[in-house]
Structure formats: C-alpha cells, structure tokens
Amino acid sequence: MSFFRPEARAALWRWREVLAASGLGVLGLYWVLGPGGLLVWVGWLTLALAAALAIVGVQRGRFRTGAGGPGVVLVDEGEITYMGPLTGGTVAAPDLERLTLDPGARPPHWVLEQPGQAPLFIPVNAEGSDGLFDVFAALPGLRTERMLSQLRAGGAHPVVIWERRPMRPATRSLH
C-alpha cells in the first residue's frame, strides 16, 4: 500500500534531482550557520554543489515530459536504440548529423538523422526517453536552454535543434 497517489509520485520522481539539491542545500546551510570552525567551509562547498545540482535538476525536470508513449528508448554507450510498435532503429551518437524536434506529430517526436540511414523518429514521451538528455547535452555546440524552450513551445513545424554542419545558407538563422 502506497501513501502517495501515482500522480504525486510521478511529479516527485520527475523533479528528483531538485529535491536532492534542496536537501543538500539545507545540510550545507546548517553547517554554515551551525557549529562553526572548519565545517563552515565544508558547508559553503556543499551549498555550491547543491546549487549546481539544482540547475542541472531543473533542466532535466523540464526535459522529462512523462512516460507511457509508444515504444522504448535504450541508450547504451552512445548508441541510441528505439523500439516502437511500428518502427525502430539505432543511431550512434558520435555519427549524429542533425537533431530536429517535430512538435506537429502526435505525440511530438525527436528526429535523429545520421548519414546513410533513414531518420529515426522517437516520441518525446517514449519509455526511457529521459536518457536522451545526456546524449543531447553532449553534442558539441548544443544550447540546452534553447532545446528545452522549443520542447515546451509546441508549434506545427519541425525545428532544427542542432546540426553538425549547417545545411542552410550562412545568411539564414536556425529559426
């Protein structure tokens, strides 16, 4: 028997890093304001660590859009595998050429393109899709905040989030 409703448990799990950062911050604040001595310096370091964890936690929480979507995503050593009810495939993260968000699809999809292969369409709410955050954040030059704002903005047309070599004229911006 659980004391939490499933919706409340899901919300707490979505923001788990932020909750851990809050607890760590309270501990650091206690050490700074409490006993004194050498523990004050450890408290300040703990507060800095809690702030960094909170920033990353907020980004991860914003990226998680829920679960229950079609298919399963597996990320293993830079290899992204999607197994869906109708399609599926694999993309190697180092070979990724372009990352696009298609908000017009139902549900919205990440489109991962690799040279010589058909694009891989992954629903944003597929089971295990929160593991894509680390892969996307490791792409050189990707602006995480812009990716998160596009994920929340919605829209009707696909948006290129990141590309290795621009396929558009230099005079045109990404949006």
What mean pLDDT comes out for the span 92-98?
92
What pLDDT score was predicted for residue 15?
87
- What are 13-61's pLDDT values in tens digits? 788 889 999 999 999 999 999 888 889 999 999 999 999 999 989 888 8
Q: What is the pLDDT of residues 148-167, one digit of tens each?
A: 888 888 778 899 999 987 76
Instruction: With cut-offs at 50, 70 and 90, classify the pLDDT of residue 86.
Output: confident
* Mean pLDDT to the nearest integer, 79-83: 93
pLDDT above 70 covers what percent of the chain? Answer: 94
Residue 169: which pLDDT band, with cuts at 50, 70 and 90?
Answer: low
**Is the pLDDT assigned to residue 77 strictly greater than 90?**
no
**Mean per-residue pLDDT over the chain, rounded:** 87
Asked if residue 170 has pLDDT above 60, the reply is no
pLDDT of residue 34: 87
DSSP string, the chain: --SS-HHHHHHHHHTHHHHHHHHHHHHHHHHHHTT-TTHHHHHHHHHHHHHHHHHHHHHHHHH---S--SSEEEEETTEEEEE-SS-EEEEEGGG--EEEEETTSSS-EEEEE-TTSPPEEEETTSBTGGGHHHHHHTSTT--HHHHHHHHHH--SS-EEEEESS--S-TTS---
* 11 pLDDT tier (thresholds 50, 70, 90): confident
